[in-house]
Amino acid sequence: MSTNTNMDAFWMPFTANRDFKSDPRIIERAEGVMYYTNEGQEILDATAGLWCVNAGHGRSEIADAVSKQLLELDYASPFNFGHDIGFEFANRLIKHTPAQLNKVFFTNSGSEAVESALKIALQYQKSRGKAGKTKFLGRELAYHGVNFGGISVGGLTPNRVGFGPLLPVDHLPHTLDIANNAFSKGLPEQGIDKAEALEQLIHFHGADTIAAVIIEPMSGAGGVIMPPQGYLKRMREICDQHDILLIFDEVITGWGRLGAAFASEEFDVVPDMITSAKGITNGVIPLGAVFVKDEIHDQIVNNVAVGGIEFYHGYTYSAHPVACAAGLATLDIYEREGLLTRAAGDIGTHFEKELHNLKDAPKVIDVRNYGLVGAIQFDPSVAANGPIGLDFQKGCYKRGVMVRTMGNIVAFSPPLTIEANHIDRLVNVLRETAEDMFG
């Protein structure tokens, strides 16, 4: 693989820069569920970009909406000025959120949505006279973006070491339990007891010091870890008992990944806030959002004199008109094509069945899935000489499939438009690569 472009200046994010630049993988074009490289190879996008291109690539409807918006109103300050498209997009979004979450705070990314949610939680607690509630509880292996709040509540060690001091937080245990739950289809049976760790942490810190608990309903970047049956409901109960806010980070699980608009709907648990990004615009224009319970918004907004800014927070590009245009066109596609529930139908069943055929591939110790997200995990022995992730990813890419790897875990989250033959291709390439590397 090669490119004629000088790659020195671009310091690439979350990338092994020296390795990449010595053996680059350059994507030139995308259409549907396929990428095309600068060398003309077709690559199946089994990751929907980075868990975001849920309606597939090259949707002309979104391109047209963006181009029209750029010529109509390309930008206006969101501070003390408004534009219809921002209000219209918020109104459309809340048709998909849980009934109590009807307020939208716009950001540009998932990381910023997390920071905003944490700040809303603090402001809410303070505004109702609970200023002592300043700590957050996160969870091991959680990914909540890369800003300081997000890495504080996040639970992936490499993202945190070297960046302290961080916010005052503590972490719940993660719920990955291969010994008891290997090869689970859907939600694992074992592990609801892990929710009781929340009681213990609350007991240890004191409920009057804790503002909010933030969790991904399904941990994505930490290794595609499904919540055990009943676990999320139990978290909700414990938070209610102790007057602590519950935030679901649905940056990955939002917009149809699990077979409903949000994991909250799929698992029938209503958090106090939901963070969103990625699929909200099909990943094609940066935009994030926090969906907030009316009660939280009203507490903050109704306690400041009219004319006063109620929440000292926001971004130059909050509700960017061009991003809102992309988002509205994305919602049109999701709604018209039934994509938000497609993962719950036949295609999700096919994905589950084919994926679990990998049970007998070399060194596979777990296969797990829900909706249109899944992962396989290899025995730690394969990494005796260092992490296998990058090599496995390169092996799949060479064979025409893009996957995401984390340590010994390989994850897939294809566009929701994927067809059965693409899933078969993904599974064949995973098997071939595993046989080649570990067989």
Cα–Cα distance, 297 to 313 (Å, whole number): 13
Question: Which residue has 């806010």 as its token pair?
Answer: 245
Is residue 143 near ligand PMP by the rule CB under 6 A? yes
Does 145 help bind ligand PMP (rule: CB under 6 A)?
yes
CB of 313 to ligand PMP, least distance (A): 16
Does residue 125 belong to the site contacting ligand PMP (CB under 6 A)? no
**Element housing 403 (H / E):** none
Considering beta carbons, is residue 275 or 369 the nearer one to ligand PMP?
275
- 232 is an interface residue for ligand PMP by CB under 6 A: no
Q: What is the Cα–Cα distance from 301 to 313, expressed in whole angstroms?
A: 13
In this structure, the dihedral spanned by the alpha carbons of residues 380, 50, 275 and 216, taken in order and rounded to 10 degrees, is -20
DSSP string, 253-306: TTTTTTSSSSHHHHHT---SEEEE-GGGGTTSS--EEEEEEHHHHHHHHTTS-T
Q: How many CB atoms lie within 10 A of CB 141?
A: 21
User: Do 152 and 138 form a contact (C-beta atoms < 8 A)?
Assistant: yes
CB of 121 vs ligand PMP, minimal distance in Å: 16
176 Rama sector, left if φ>0, alpha if ψ -120 to 50, beta otherwise: beta
Query: In the beta sheet, which residues pair with residue 293?
Result: 101
When CB distances to ligand PMP are compared, the closest residue is 110
- Which residue among 114, 141, 176, 269 contacts ligand PMP (CB under 6 A)? 114
Closest to ligand PMP by CB, 138 vs 145, is 145
CB of 184 to ligand PMP, least distance (A): 21
Q: Which of 51, 166, 53, 50 is nearest to 115 (CA)?
A: 166
Q: What angle do CA 197, 202, 206 make, to 5 degrees?
A: 160
CB of 250 to ligand PMP, least distance (A): 7
Spatial distance between the Cα atoms of 260 and 217, rounded to a whole number of angstroms: 13
Which one, 239 or 251, has the nearer CB to ligand PMP?
Answer: 251
Q: Does 216 bind ligand PMP (CB under 6 A)?
A: yes
Per CB under 6 A, the segment of 32-40, 170-178, 216-224, 342-350 that binds ligand PMP is 216-224
**Among 37, 54, 69, 111, which residue interacts with ligand PMP (rule: CB under 6 A)?**
111
- Closer to ligand PMP at the Cβ: 255 or 431? 255
- Alpha-carbon dihedral 135, 140, 146, 148, rounded to 10 degrees: 20
Decide the pairing of beta strands 34-37 and 42-45. Answer: antiparallel
Determine if 45 is a binding residue for ligand PMP (CB under 6 A): no
Pick the stretch among 81-89, 140-148, 333-341, 404-412 that binds ligand PMP (CB under 6 A): 140-148
Binding region for ligand PMP (CB under 6 A) out of 77-85, 138-146, 237-245, 395-403: 138-146
The residue (of 277 and 358) whose beta carbon lies closer to ligand PMP is 277
The minimum distance between CB 416 and ligand PMP, in angstroms, equals 17
Nearest alpha-carbon partner for 141 in 179, 117, 187, 177: 177
- Residue 261 CB, shortest distance to ligand PMP, in Å, is 16
Identify which of residues 277 and 401 has a Cβ nearer to ligand PMP in the complex: 277
Task: Choose between 111 and 123: whose C-beta lies nearer to ligand PMP.
Answer: 111
Give yes or no for residue 281 binding ligand PMP (CB under 6 A).
Answer: no
Q: How far is the CB of 325 from ligand PMP (least distance, A)?
A: 19
Confirm or reject binding of residue 144 to ligand PMP (CB under 6 A): yes
Q: Which of 110, 149, 227, 389 binds ligand PMP (CB under 6 A)?
A: 110
Up-side HSE of residue 65: CA atoms within 13 Å toward CB?
23
Tally of CB atoms within 10 A around 435: 12
Q: Which stretch binds ligand PMP (CB under 6 A): 203-211, 215-223, 265-273, 347-355?
A: 215-223
Sheet holding 401-402, edge to edge: 27-31, 34-37, 42-45, 401-402
Contact predicate 202/244, CB 8 Å: yes
Pick the closer one to ligand PMP by CB: 130 or 160: 160
The residue from 37, 54, 97, 109 that contacts ligand PMP (CB under 6 A) is 109
Name which position in 104, 117, 118, 251 contacts ligand PMP (CB under 6 A).
Answer: 251
Q: Which residues bind ligand PMP (CB under 6 A)?
A: 109-111, 114, 143-145, 216, 220-221, 249, 251-252, 277
